Amino acid sequence: MKHPLVILSMQGDQNEYMKLAIISSPRCGNTWLRRVLAEGLDLQEMAVHNFLDVGAVPDACILQLHWYREPNFQVFLQRHGFKVITLARHPLDILLSMLRFIRYEPETARWLEGNCAIPASLTSATPASPEFLEYALGFGFENLLSVSYQWWHDEAAIKVRYEQLVAAPEIEVARLAHRLDAPVDPILAALARNPLGRLQATPNRHGWRGQPGLWRELIPRPTAVAIHTHYRTLFRRMGYTIERGGVARQDAERRWLQLAE
């Protein structure tokens, strides 16, 4: 016969000991998804730049950070019982979103503790500029992209595509709830209270246009080809292409000036 105390504990709140970690490259919808899940599942939010800054881990929490899939971090996650969620986004849309966000958020200097190596001069660059292409092909952007790329290889990680999350948010969060064995209705209600547009009104302009494929309007075709060639393996692994994309340089420049503010 089962002990009554055991039966009682099994009837408790299933979210009481849930620990989630959203680990992806920057600008993939991480903050939006964190806020929705935190509110929908009543989880304490933690957002840090380095997992060593976490401190005490609450019983029910959601952690967000951009960090490599490296052994020390993996041990930390396993020791505390975190379930990992990782998001993917088209690399060129990540690059554009980063280019705009760094104008308003100085904390981007701490992404991967500086290993994204974002130069100050990039804040005044456009997607048609030589500085933009130089950064895109360099060590810093490679590190930035590497986070989602590395965690996409983790078979246990729950994978979410930004493009699908934006196109059908209710469907995607419901799918995610099922993967987490979590109640769907509270998360859908939290989503309704936290549309992507709310982030567009924040002081650091955390949200932008939320438009997958915007790179086709803003990045010159030769630049897109050069970046795709450089990261061919990553594009293929993550399931992204540059087919039928890219514009003339002068059109990219003009469109960026219209949309970047």
Q: What pLDDT digit, counting tens, does each position of 92-124 carry?
A: 999 999 999 999 899 999 999 999 999 999 999
Measured distance CA(123)–CA(125) in Å, rounded: 6
Provide the token pair at 136.
Answer: 């895109």
CB 115 within 8 A of CB 140: yes
pLDDT, position 16? 78
pLDDT at 206: 66
pLDDT of residue 52: 96
Distance CA 133, CA 4 (A): 65
Tell me what pLDDT residue 127 has. Answer: 96
pTM above 0.85, yes or no: yes
- pLDDT number for residue 196: 80
The residue type of 120 is: A
Stretches where the chain sits below pLDDT 50 are 1-12
Question: Which regions of 27-120 does DSSP assign to beta strands (E)?
Answer: 44-47, 61-65, 83-88
Structure tokens at 254: 């003009």
Q: What whole-number distance in Å separates Cα of residue 194 and Cα of residue 84?
A: 22
